[in-house]
Amino acid sequence: MSPDAPRPEPLAKICEDVRHGRVKAFDRVAAFLTAISQRDGEIHAFNEVFEQHALDQARRVDQLAKRGESPGPLAGAVIAIKDNIVMSVGKTTCSSKMLANYCSPFNATVIERLERAGAIFIGKTNLDEFAMGSSTENSAFGPTRNPWDTSRVPGGSSGGSAAAVAARFCDAALGSDTGGSIRQPAALCGCVGFKPTYGRVSRYGLVAFGSSLDQIGPFAHSVEDAALVYDELVGFDPNDSTSAEGTNERLAGKLGQPIAKLRIGVPREYRSDANSPAVAAVLEKSIAAARAFGAEIVDIDLPLTDIGISTYYVIAPAEASSNLARYDGIRYGHRAKLEAGEDLEDLYSKSRAEGFGPEVQRRIMLGTYVLSSGYYDAYYKRALQARRLIKDEFDRAFAKCDVILGPTSPVVAFPFGGKKDPLSMYLCDVYTVNTNIAGIPGISINGGFAEEGGKKLPVGIQLQAPAFAEETLLRAAAMFERA
């Protein structure tokens, strides 16, 4: 891939052309399927490709357009789905042996909404097992490779979705973000990754990891494309007890309106020595670009940035240990074979040991430990108190600025095996986890490129905004994209 390659046509124009019959959805799907067949053997963005289903959906869209009926605002948009979002088509594996043969009897709310809008689903994308990881190396079905340099990781846990968009296997993709799992791979793959406010998009049908942190969001080629998909996802869902009520304006059409007197906060903590030289250079370039388009740069402090990782790795594993307790080898999921003399307890332990990979086992054990009676107050309760302080810190910061600017990741895409120590891998999310802890929206866009090993690699910049301020966030991101 080359940074000089032209960006695909805006998704809004593509969908308009499909609605008016100027472009055939069937032809577009066929072209994407050809691209996948030619290159996904090298990249492994997909766990499963829905060739026949996607072509059937495309035929239906084209038939509606031919009859003069509108197939919907996303008519003919080809979308890949992270393999932890349930669909009644194909399997939902979470890239785990535990669910290797699981077929969902229902669709997630986001799938129903996209289908009503005329979207076409081309397949399920690879991820770190149960969304636990930052490199997509933890998949039970093998790693996904970065389309910019296949010797490097695409980020994670939604690495398959980011790679599918970056490799132009689809128009957009869905991912889930628990501590940066949309934004970090978007940064490493050079596309847009948008995590909405917690509760804005229904989690019904998302296989749970950390229920107070998980959020579904889109990957796309541009901020406008991401907003177009988001407009169809957002809204209250009675099936999700954490779904936020209230009206939701459509935002994609508003992104051309610059924000007058935009105040951009730059935390001193985000100009860290931990950032690679390439990331530091792109951040300074982005600050200069913001000044050039008339924004006011405000120096702010987020001193709790450094405790975000430790807070997250108490709360998220605690919730994971509870959510993953249901996979016991009895009701569904992988079931081990017992030897003579083994009992029910052996069935539980063998099924879980065989079904879960090392990183998932690590987090289950960590979560079980911090929730245990002797350590609950020392770890879990204290982490919840830290969470409150982190949220208050963001509230104080947003009193001084409209959005916060910083790197998405402190490093560019790293080689496979480059982060063997779990802590070094966890630190890749140092700038993203607090967004989830505070429940606020964040977006990563491509801020430039760095040359490493003879290849140009994308560098992501992240914007964050107050809860439910998606319009401000997306309009600000569009200003950066134009600059």
Q: Are 356 and 367 in contact (CB under 8 A)?
A: no
Which of 96, 139, 181, 409 is labelled catalytic? 181
What is the spatial distance between Cα 159 and Cα 250, in angstroms, rounded to a whole number?
A: 28
Counted residue by residue, the chain has a size of 483
Q: Burial code of 97-119, b = ≥16 C-beta within 10 A, e = fewer?
A: bbbbebebeebbbbbbbbbebbb
- Assigned token pair, 19: 């609605």
Which of 139, 157, 158, 161 is labelled catalytic? 157
* Coil, strand or helix at 13: helix
Pairing of strands 263-267, 192-195: unpaired
DSSP codes of every residue in 164-206? HHHTTSSSEEEEE-SSSTTHHHHHHHTSEEEEPPTTSB--TTB
Cis-peptide into 139, omega within 30 deg: no
Quick check: is 181 catalytic?
yes
- Assigned token pair, 121: 């689903």
- Residue entry with tokens 């932890």: 84
DSSP codes of every residue in 361-421? HHHHHHHHHHHSTTTIIIIIIHHHHHHHHHHHHHHHHHTT-SEEEEES-SS---BTTS--S
Total Cβ atoms within 10 A of residue 280: 18
Nearest-Å Rg of the Cα atoms of the chain is 21
What is the spatial distance between Cα 412 and Cα 284, in angstroms, rounded to a whole number?
A: 16
CA-wise closest residue to 93 among 263, 288, 262, 332: 332
Which of 82, 195, 350, 419 is labelled catalytic? 82
- What does the CA dihedral 12, 16, 21, 26 come to, rounded to 10 degrees? 20
| Strand ranges inside 25-104, DSSP E | 46-49, 78-82
Cα–Cα–Cα angle for 103, 226, 69, rounded to 5 degrees:
75
* Coil, strand or helix at 234: strand
Quick check: is 135 catalytic?
no
Question: What residues act catalytically?
Answer: 82, 157, 181
